[in-house]
């Protein structure tokens, strides 16, 4: 069964450092998403991406965040200058279409900012 | 704005007992509804979904859920829980106005032998 792959599974970084989280969506999917889950809190939507541009983003997704699909297979989330409060599990998801469709999630990347 | 409520943060059941995890949503139109499960170290796996039609939907691993419009609920059930069902369960809602799924806070299921 096709799956969404995320790397790294866990990253520890110092505050102020840049972090890039990588995702390989399912190959025939067209819509891509990032969510995050701070420990003990809800899974929150960050951003959705379609046709090489952001289609929707939440208030959380400020100028510190960016997304990119650099090579047609990877989908990356960059945090330019990490803060302590960026520590969370970050989930990538993809879907074949928008609307009434199922998102397939990756296993997540745990980011710890010290 | 759409919202999803899972009132139980933790639920503890004995193996073999029945299970019901509650989920309520709020917003006007009939939403698209999902239950996902997250086992330790795993991603979010789809258990079942409701888009339309029969309000009782069957999913994987013996789970089912019933959409009740009058109660704005989509509770997840399983008649006999197995130890391997211990995990975090998320109710997810997707409205017609926004195609961005909204997660409930999750319910952690603990299974006693």
Q: Does A25 touch chain B (CB under 8 A)?
A: no
Structure tokens at A108: 């997540």
Rg, chain B, Cα only: 13
Q: What is the DSSP string of A80-92?
A: SS--GGG-EEEEE
Task: For residue B90, give the nearest of A43, A48, A106 by CB distance.
Answer: A43
Give me the residue spans of the domains in chain A.
Answer: 5-96+108-112
Residue B21 lies in domain: 3-112
Count up the domains in chain B and report the number.
1
Residue B74 to residues B17, B22, B51, B70: CA-CA distances in angstroms? 20, 7, 12, 11
CATH of the domain at B16: 2.60.40.10
Q: Does A105 touch chain B (CB under 8 A)?
A: yes
Q: What is the 3-state secondary structure (H, E, C) of chain B?
A: CCEEECCCCEEEEECCCCEEECCEEECCCCCEEEEEEECCCCCEEEEEEECCCCCEEECHHHCEEEEEHHHCEEEEEECCCCHHHCEEEEEEEECCCCCCCEECCCEEEEEEC
Neighbours of A40 (CB within 10 A): 8
* Per-residue pLDDT at A71 exceeds 90: no
B111 within 8 A of B13, measured Cβ to Cβ: yes
Q: Do A42 and B103 touch (CB under 8 A)?
A: yes
Q: How far apart are CA B22 and CA A17, in angstroms?
A: 41
* Per-residue pLDDT at A96 exceeds 80: yes
Split at pLDDT 50, 70, 90, the class of A99 is confident
- Average the pLDDT over A90-114 and give the result: 90
pLDDT in tens, B77-96: 999 999 999 999 999 998 76
pLDDT in tens, B6-48: 999 999 999 999 999 999 998 767 788 999 999 887 788 999 9
**Pairing mode, strands B64-68 and B56-58:** antiparallel
Q: How far apart are CA A32 and CA A12, in angstroms?
A: 25
- Average the pLDDT over A73-95 and give the result: 95
- In 3D space, the residue among A88, A87, A106 whose CA is nearest the CA of residue A33 turns out to be A106
* Per-residue pLDDT at B1 exceeds 70: no
Task: For residue A100, give the nearest of B46, B51, B102 by CB distance.
Answer: B51
CATH-assigned architecture of domain A5-96+108-112: Sandwich (2.60)
Which pLDDT does position A98 carry in this prediction?
76
* Per-residue pLDDT at A5 exceeds 90: yes
Q: Which residue of chain B is at minimal alpha-carbon distance from A32?
A: B100
């Amino acid at each position: 069964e096709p799956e969404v792959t995320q790397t790294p599974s866990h990253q520890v970084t110092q505050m102020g450092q840049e972090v890039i989280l990588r995702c390989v969506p399912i190959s025939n999917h067209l819509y891509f998403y990032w969510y995050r889950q701070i420990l003990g809190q809800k899974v929150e939507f960050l951003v959705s991406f379609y046709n090489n541009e952001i289609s929707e983003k939440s208030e959380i997704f400020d100028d510190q965040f960016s997304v990119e699909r650099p090579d047609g297979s990877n989908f990356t989330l960059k945090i330019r200058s990490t803060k302590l409060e960026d520590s969370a599990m970050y989930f990538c998801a993809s879907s074949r279409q928008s609307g009434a469709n199922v998102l397939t999630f990756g296993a997540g990347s745990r980011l710890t900012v010290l | 704005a759409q919202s999803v409520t899972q009132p139980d943060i933790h639920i503890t059941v004995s193996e073999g007992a029945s299970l019901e995890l509650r989920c309520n949503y709020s917003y006007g139109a009939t939403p698209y509804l999902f239950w996902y499960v997250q086992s330790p170290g795993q991603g979010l796996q789809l258990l079942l979904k409701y888009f339309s039609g029969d309000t009782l939907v069957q999913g994987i691993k013996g789970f089912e859920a019933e959409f009740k419009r009058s109660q704005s609920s989509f509770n997840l059930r399983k008649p006999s829980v197995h130890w391997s069902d211990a995990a975090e369960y998320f109710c997810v809602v997707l409205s017609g106005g926004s195609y961005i799924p909204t997660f409930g806070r999750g319910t952690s299921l603990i299974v006693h032998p």
